[in-house]
């Protein structure tokens, strides 16, 4: 299963009132594991940069002036995400900007059922909050010390780690849930809950001969009625 964790930076909060994308960062997961593939681009928004937005991400109008327009990179972005599930924090914000840019170019929008919102997942798992990306990194012991300002790629890398924790930890295969993808709704709209993946081969555990002998001796002292003997009769019979 392929997933793309992504983040955007913008000139403001209102894509339908002239605010534009200035950065997209994205990282690829396959079966909930990072592949090392990423996508990162700065974008010329063709407008000024408000001071409030600059304080958030540090991307100035001068810095962005020689960067490509979104129309020049849109196909690269579409190729990278493919048909993967998309994951973002407060996803309705990021998707609204992506879809506004798509609409300007006549591209079809990304449907909400294709998106997982980690903010929704976090609010369900930690209803008392706080559930900002920084707070979740702190909660899960994820090093966010390099995040001095918001940035599309670094936020995506951190969010990928947070997402894995939210769906069951760094070993999501151990979570006992259905293999089928489910969907539900929240205040922010439809949300897809991705399935966890079962190990294709049962995990093996390295046990030395000495450890096995010590365990068998311990079980032998428990008497014939020991429940454990029902789970290892072949081994006991061979001794």
Active site residues: 150
Return the structure tokens found at 47. 């407008």
Q: 4, 84 in Cβ contact below 8 A?
A: yes
The three-class DSSP label of residue 222 is coil
Q: Name 7's Cβ contacts closer than 8 Å, sequence gap at least 6.
A: 24, 25, 26, 88, 89, 94, 150, 151, 152, 153, 155, 156, 159
Count Cβ atoms within 10 A of the Cβ of residue 33 and give its class: 0-12 exposed, 13-18 middle, 19 or more buried. middle
Distance between CA atoms of residues 207 and 6, nearest Å: 42
Q: 44, 66 in Cβ contact below 8 A?
A: yes
| Closest of 81, 112, 83 to residue 99, by C-alpha | 112
Distance between CA atoms of residues 166 and 124, nearest Å: 10
Cα angle vertex 228, ends 224, 229, to 5°? 45
């Amino acid at each position: 299963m392929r997933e793309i964790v992504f983040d955007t930076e913008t000139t403001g909060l209102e894509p339908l009132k002239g605010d534009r994308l200035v950065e997209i960062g994205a990282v690829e997961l396959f079966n909930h594991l990072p592949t090392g593939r990423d996508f990162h681009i700065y974008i010329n928004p063709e407008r000024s940069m408000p001071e409030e937005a600059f304080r958030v991400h540090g991307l100035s109008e001068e810095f962005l002036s020689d960067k490509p327009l979104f129309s020049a990179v849109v196909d690269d972005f579409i190729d990278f995400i493919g048909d993967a599930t998309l994951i973002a924090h407060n996803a309705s914000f990021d998707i609204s900007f992506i879809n506004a840019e798509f609409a300007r170019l006549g591209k079809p929008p990304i449907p909400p059922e294709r998106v997982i919102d980690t903010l929704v997942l976090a609010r369900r798992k930690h209803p008392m909050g706080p559930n900002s990306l920084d707070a979740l990194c702190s909660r899960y012991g994820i090093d966010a010390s390099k995040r001095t300002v918001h940035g599309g790629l670094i936020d995506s890398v951190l969010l990928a780690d947070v997402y894995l924790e939210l769906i069951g930890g760094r070993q999501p295969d151990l979570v006992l849930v259905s293999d089928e993808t489910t969907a539900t709704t929240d205040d922010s709209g439809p949300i897809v809950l991705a399935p966890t993946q079962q190990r294709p081969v049962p995990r093996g555990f390295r046990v030395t001969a000495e450890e096995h002998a010590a365990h068998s001796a311990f079980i032998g002292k428990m008497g014939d009625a020991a429940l454990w003997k029902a789970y290892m009769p072949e081994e006991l019979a061979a001794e």
